[in-house]
Amino acid sequence: MLAVTDLRKGAAFQDEGELWRVLEYKHIKVARGGATIKVKVRNVNSGSITEKSYNSGDKVEPANITNYPAQYLYPEGENFIFMDTNTYEQFPINAELLGLGVNFLQDNMIVDVQFFDERPIGIQLPPSVVLEVTYTEPAVKGNSSGNITKPATVSSGYKLNVPSFVNTGDKIKINTDSGEYIERA
C-alpha cells in the first residue's frame, strides 16, 4: 500500500476501483488536529477531474505503472504519435493525457512512456527543455529594478513569462513540471 503523504504531482494510484493521476498535492496541517492531504486528481479512464481528501495516515493502492522509452514522432489531430524504440511499433497518446507536456515535445525526443495494463497513460519528460523564443516585446529602457517579467512565446507555441532581458531569438531553458522559465541556454 502507498501512504497518501507520498502522493506527488504525476503519481498514479488506484482508489475505488479507478486509476487516478495526481495533478496537485496539498498537505494541510491544523493546530491540534491531524493533517489532511488534499489532491486534485484526473481519472485516467474518463478524463474527469476531482478533488479527494485523505487523513495523513490513510493508504491507497499503488498503480502498477511500467515505463518504456519511446521516441516522439509527430502530432495527429488530438493525438501525439510515439514509437517504441525497441520494437519500432507506433502508438498514439491523447493530448489530454499528456497535459502540460504537449508544449515541450520536440521532434525525435526520447521520453519514458508510462503504461498501465498495456495501455499508455502518460509520459515522463526530462526535468527541463531548451526552446527558442519566437516572440517577445523588446525590453523597456530603465525598467530594470526588481524582478520584471514580460510575456514570451516559444517555438512550440507555449506562452510564459520571462525576465525583461530575454529577446526574440534567444534560447531558454524551461521547467517541464511547472512550465516556468529557468535560465537562458
Could you tell me the sign of the dihedral formed by the alpha carbons of 177, 178, 182, 185, in that order?
positive
Domains, in order of start, for the chain: 2-62 (2.30.30.30), 66-124 (2.40.50.140), 128-184 (2.40.50.140)
Q: Grid coordinates representing 141?
A: 529602457
This prediction's pTM? 0.79
Q: Letter for the amino acid at 63?
A: A
E-assigned strand segments in 101-180: 110-116, 119-124, 128-136, 149-154, 159-163, 171-175
Residue 14 β-bridge partners: 19, 61
Q: Which of 130, 129, 112 lies closest to 121, judged by CA?
A: 112
In tens digits, the chain (185 residues) has pLDDT values of 888 888 888 888 998 888 998 889 999 888 777 889 999 998 888 888 899 999 988 999 998 889 999 999 999 999 999 999 999 999 999 998 888 899 999 999 999 999 988 888 889 999 999 999 999 998 777 666 667 889 999 999 999 999 988 999 999 999 998 899 999 98
